[in-house]
Copies of this chain bind each other. A is one copy, B any other.
Amino acid sequence: MRLERIAIVGSGAIGLYYGTQLALAGSDVRFLLRRDFEAVQAHGITVRVGDRVQSIPADRVGAYASTADIGPVDLVIVTLKTTANAQLASLIPPLLGPETAVLTLQNGLGSDELLARLCGAERVFSGLSFIASNRVGPGEVACFYPGTITLGEFGCAASERAQALGALWTRAGVKCHVVDNVAEARWRKLIWNVPFNGLSIATGGLTTDRILADAGLAAEVRALMDEVTVAAHAMGLEIPESFIRGQLDVTPSLGAYKPSSLLDWQAGREVEVEAIWGEPLRRAQAAGAPAPRLSLLYSLLRQLTSGGPAA
């Protein structure tokens, strides 16, 4: 599996961060850029991880304004926000050669299925990114928690190709777990994101510590986790009680943490309502799993986020 030429589709904080790791490890990384195109052409990319500064200088950065300009690559990494997924149908085809693999690192549910429909399931790898990073300026990213990745093959157990993808990340210094059931990993990530990202917006901006300090809301967190778990179980995915307890136990250590969706909402950016709440709800209902709290939360979030930023 050739993994030399790589396109990054979605050059926000996450795309810039991961693309930079791969470029610094020697890959030919081609960033699809829009608002930052001219800035990156002129000044390159800068990533700050704590005190450490990584950079790709302007004369070596692969800055592109369209996927047609990028052309066929060995690997497409999709870090677009899911709210922009409708663009994938036009963005992806110019990047595809006969052997091109496509890895989504997007949030929530639905992106890997969409890519499988667009490109063929055999190309698609599904990944989860655990990272805390912000775009702090054009071509500039601050990373507070260095990213780790969990990835697997779409619709089947991890093959040698998935292992090769994992090795690519490892060589670039990014911790990567290759798993056989990435759908299960996606649902496990929802165990935290559904309640905390959702309630932080629905309460008008509570941080995770304040959500847990309210006994009523803390009980709703747990009840939402249970609904997600019941849905996952109805689909044959395993989420043990120990995992849920672990998610609850680790949250206080985050302090006054603002989930990414709350940051999006407060900054007036689109919130990934369909990927994190809508699609999981539809799958839960299709699997016959009752998810009444998720249903109410989803309808509230759709409404609250439709008007743009927080009131």
- Residues on A facing B (Cβ under 8 Å): 199, 202-206, 214, 216-217, 219-220, 223-224, 292-293, 295-300, 302-304, 307, 310-311
Contacts and interface: CB of A to CB of B under 8 A. Distances in A.
Given A203-B303, A293-B293, 19 more contacts: A199-B300, A202-B300, A203-B300, A204-B204, A205-B311, A214-B302, A214-B303, A216-B298, A216-B299, A216-B302, A217-B299, A217-B300, A219-B299, A220-B296, A293-B295, A293-B296, A296-B297, A310-B311, A311-B311
A164 to B, nearest CB: 43
A183 to B, nearest CB: 25
Give the secondary structure class of A's interface.
helix
A206 B303 contact: yes
B214 A299 contact: yes
A60 to B, nearest CB: 46
A209 to B, nearest CB: 14
Given A217-B299, A296-B296, A304 B203 contact: yes
29 contacts: A199-B300, A202-B300, A203-B300, A203-B303, A203-B304, A204-B204, A204-B303, A204-B304, A205-B311, A206-B303, A214-B302, A216-B298, A216-B302, A216-B303, A217-B299, A217-B300, A219-B299, A220-B295, A220-B296, A220-B299, A223-B292, A223-B295, A223-B296, A224-B296, A292-B293, A293-B296, A296-B297, A300-B300, A310-B311
Contacts of A199: 300
Interface-centre pick from A199, A214, A216 (highest chain B CB count, 10 A): A216
Contacts of A205: 311
A205 B307 CA distance: 12
Contacts of A216: 298-299, 302-303
Nearest to A291: B292
Contacts of A302: 214, 216
Contacts of A223: 292, 295-296
A120 B107 CA distance: 59
